[in-house]
Structure 1
């Protein structure tokens, strides 16, 4: 899937193709967060947007079609599917400010176009869902699709349900289409925002929903609220950016999440072991108390307030990997290097590689040269020549840590010359430039290389640039 943005915050233009491993690098305040939040916002809201796009069309088809059958292959051919995604992008932009919890005017000129870079076979999908009426549990309709058939069929037991304004049958049909046709392109997701360290400390105090409700109640007139209680929800639709809000909500539920074991933890326990080895211990919930327990003889336990910044920074990542992660999902992590020693930045890069090879799609923003260099090492070792195999063995790299360069996309924030739409001289625009990635050399990242080379030049000048005399002071 590819996102194209125009006039998105600090970015004049950006084109991002999501790969198995997608990375964005660049200097501070150049647009990385805008791109990340915008993509996350779409992943979070696409189902609601799809209802806006499809409901009137489904309502019309229900009226015309006595058998309530939908040929999904005809409705969602490759060309038509592209059109639906394009419409979803247009609708999303109208509400983009909600994802950033900011003023609507900031994105008045923003454009978003979403296109597909791969196709999925919807024929193979089998689907069945019963639609029940409220607390009675009465089945009012059954929605089914058989494997290898393009037909989605709706068997209606209660015709009155078609007349309902709210919660009508069209809602459930759109949900079925979302699951069958769209979800293969837009799977589940989790984000670890850069604010995760603070969330780990103050997670019990951070009740965003309660705070927003209290603020809205304080600001609204009581008579107005009694006349239209739905206004309360409208007033509550402000606060924190969605990635931050969702991150806080996630860490507030860790004691409950601890009771679950996710698909990734069951199928790839070695990834969790590598993660705990990197930290030198593991997170535990003991008598409703969240602690970090060191490995070793003493096995000392520390609350989050007592733990190091590294332990707090990776709290939500650990619980996501252990309790929720599964193949096919998007895992977005903003600056994974936060509070990590270079040794652990390298170790985290190897964990990322294992996640990618286990089927989890990873999206990273980073300033870490160590992380990128380690990813380069994993790409180069994947050549599997006699020499690279020897290096792999000597430095104890596992096969599931090696990375295929074809599965990676890296983008660098940049300023480049483009044609001026108004004519005349070319103009310099802020954008994302795709990095060159080679199987034998890894990724070229000038934003890091230039800084390191300049530092080396300065130190070289200090050490060797002037003539030394005995009376010189150091």
Structure 2
């Protein structure tokens, strides 16, 4: 496993205005980005918003905007909207279209799409995403911008050209849209087959969806959220999954029209956070082993056993090393519940080009386990293969994360010599400061950059001030007692 120093070129710029108490902030999102701050400073909202912007349902809503299928249209004309409508028109007339030079396609339209997705999210999708009544007008003045740096975009283009693409859209096992590109080839081919039972408007939407997915997936293959509720969600995953399955188990008996209405539904049966977790559990059934299986062994070290997913029942269990007895996850420690889903993500799903939101990684972990888990996250960011580029945003309230992260930054320059000083005994636990951003969210609606990359220093005085205050209180108590 080789560590790569990305020299700061991998960067997403995120600007947020008037989101909760957040006034006007500009953030450099690096492969590992840490948000700290007191409660109710809206750091989780900001992290979740980037996830929501990239969310598939937000893309589906933007498709309606591009195809003028909404009652109120905000994007009347831009190059990407015109491009998509042109592709849709040609495909419904000629059944095959070639997008020439995928590098130019990404270069021209990727930031335009991110800009449109951010606008659609902050203007519309944000309410259903956070489960907040639109009538509150809580986000009526919210504005969010997302921009990928040119250096990062060049890397995305290079990786996309070097990879293959093979996607299909099916209706009752019939492929009516195919998209493919050979490895190291530049042109993308889209082909469709019109079916009498499928209205053309649904085919048009599916075509637009695919184009948006190609662009977003060129950045990240997977987008995953591990919320602070993950412990409870892991416990109740079976019941949630069965509830959804009961609604769609007989979908082959539904006429095409109803099937597509279900696929393109406008109301969510579950809050989006829960829907995403249900899908996450369902994705585990794909039964493929991720290249990150070796990293999950570090979690086994932390929790003292293995997490097992039964594909038939979709049930999560834990096998402790000490007893070798299989336990239902709801009967395990809070630490096991907290880490079980991330364990299964590493075992089954991780692609090497994923975007992760991890709320409170320290949740239910002893300080030693917190430090070990941070090292595991550093290994995850450093990657397994040369072209890996995972992104992870973590929100935290613990001083141990920042204190040990400073150690891992400081030792990066001599990581081979210092490997045995880490908890996990590996040089890959060290991480370059160029791959990290750390922000403190303040009560006045601003943020403070806590990382001095040049001097490899993290300002974690926010926590040390509390420690000093506790010491002061203790000193005063002792003084009063002894007087």
1:51 aligns with 2:75: no
Cα 1:86/1:35, change in 2 over 3 Å? same
Per the alignment, residue 469 of structure 1 pairs with: none
Cα 1:144/1:55, change in 2 over 3 Å? farther
User: Matches of 2:427 and 2:449 in 1, distance apart?
Assistant: 27
Q: Could you tell me the TM-score, scaled by structure 1's length?
A: 0.76
Return 121-130 or 451-460, whichever deviates more: 121-130
Please point out which of 331, 349, 367 is paired with 1:306.
Answer: 331
- 1:217-228 to 2 correspondences below 5 Å: none
SS for the counterpart of 2:331 is coil
Please point out which of 443, 458, 463 is paired with 1:448.
Answer: 463
Per the alignment, residue 161 of structure 2 pairs with: 124
C-alpha offsets along residues 327-383 of structure 1, whole Å, 9 cap, x if unaligned?
A: 110122110111111111111111111111114322211101112211111111113
User: Matches of 1:205 and 1:40 in 2, distance apart?
Assistant: 25
SS for the counterpart of 1:340 is coil
User: Matches of 2:184 and 2:239 in 1, distance apart?
Assistant: 51
User: Matches of 1:278 and 1:402 in 2, distance apart?
Assistant: 18
1:433 aligns with 2:448: yes
User: Matches of 1:341 and 1:13 in 2, distance apart?
Assistant: 36
User: Matches of 1:136 and 1:201 in 2, distance apart?
Assistant: 33
Please point out which of 159, 168, 189 is paired with 2:223.
Answer: 189
Instruction: Tell me which structure has the larger Cα radius of gyration.
Output: 1
User: Matches of 2:396 and 2:432 in 1, distance apart?
Assistant: 20
Please point out which of 419, 422, 436 is paired with 1:408.
Answer: 436
Cα 1:133/1:243, change in 2 over 3 Å? closer
User: Matches of 1:212 and 1:14 in 2, distance apart?
Assistant: 44
Structure 1: state its 5+ residue gaps: 214-226, 416-428, 467-471
Structure 2: state its 5+ residue gaps: 1-11, 67-79, 248-257
User: Matches of 1:321 and 1:183 in 2, distance apart?
Assistant: 19
1:12 aligns with 2:23: yes
Q: Report 1 or 2 for greater relative contact order, CA contacts < 8 Å, sequence distance ≥ 6.
A: 2
User: Matches of 2:422 and 2:236 in 1, distance apart?
Assistant: 40
Q: Could you tell me the TM-score, scaled by structure 2's length?
A: 0.75
**CA-CA distance at 1:403 after TM superposition:** 0.6
C-alpha offsets along residues 299-342 of structure 1, whole Å, 9 cap, x if unaligned?
A: 24432232111111212111111111121101221101111111
Please point out which of 403, 407, 414 is paired with 1:373.
Answer: 403
User: Matches of 1:290 and 1:57 in 2, distance apart?
Assistant: 45
After superposition, the CA RMSD in angstroms is 3.9
Cα 1:209/1:17, change in 2 over 3 Å? farther
User: Matches of 2:436 and 2:141 in 1, distance apart?
Assistant: 31
- 1:210-289 to 2 correspondences below 5 Å: 236-237=267-268, 239-240=270-271, 242-251=272-281, 253=282, 257=285, 259-265=287-293, 269=294, 271-285=295-309
1:292 aligns with 2:318: yes
- The number of aligned residues is 426
Cα 1:77/1:187, change in 2 over 3 Å? closer
User: Matches of 1:277 and 1:327 in 2, distance apart?
Assistant: 22
User: Matches of 2:30 and 2:435 in 1, distance apart?
Assistant: 6
1:27 aligns with 2:61: no
SS for the counterpart of 1:372 is helix
User: Matches of 1:258 and 1:147 in 2, distance apart?
Assistant: 24
SS for the counterpart of 1:263 is coil
8 Å CA contact retained: 2:166, 2:181:
no
1:84 aligns with 2:121: no
**CA-CA distance at 1:292 after TM superposition:** 1.6
SS for the counterpart of 1:262 is coil
**CA-CA distance at 1:395 after TM superposition:** 5.4
8 Å CA contact retained: 2:167, 2:178:
yes
Per the alignment, residue 422 of structure 1 pairs with: none
- 1:298-337 to 2 correspondences below 5 Å: 298-337=323-362
Cα 1:244/1:210, change in 2 over 3 Å? closer
Please point out which of 119, 140, 146 is paired with 1:108.
Answer: 140
User: Matches of 1:159 and 1:309 in 2, distance apart?
Assistant: 52
Cα 1:336/1:141, change in 2 over 3 Å? closer
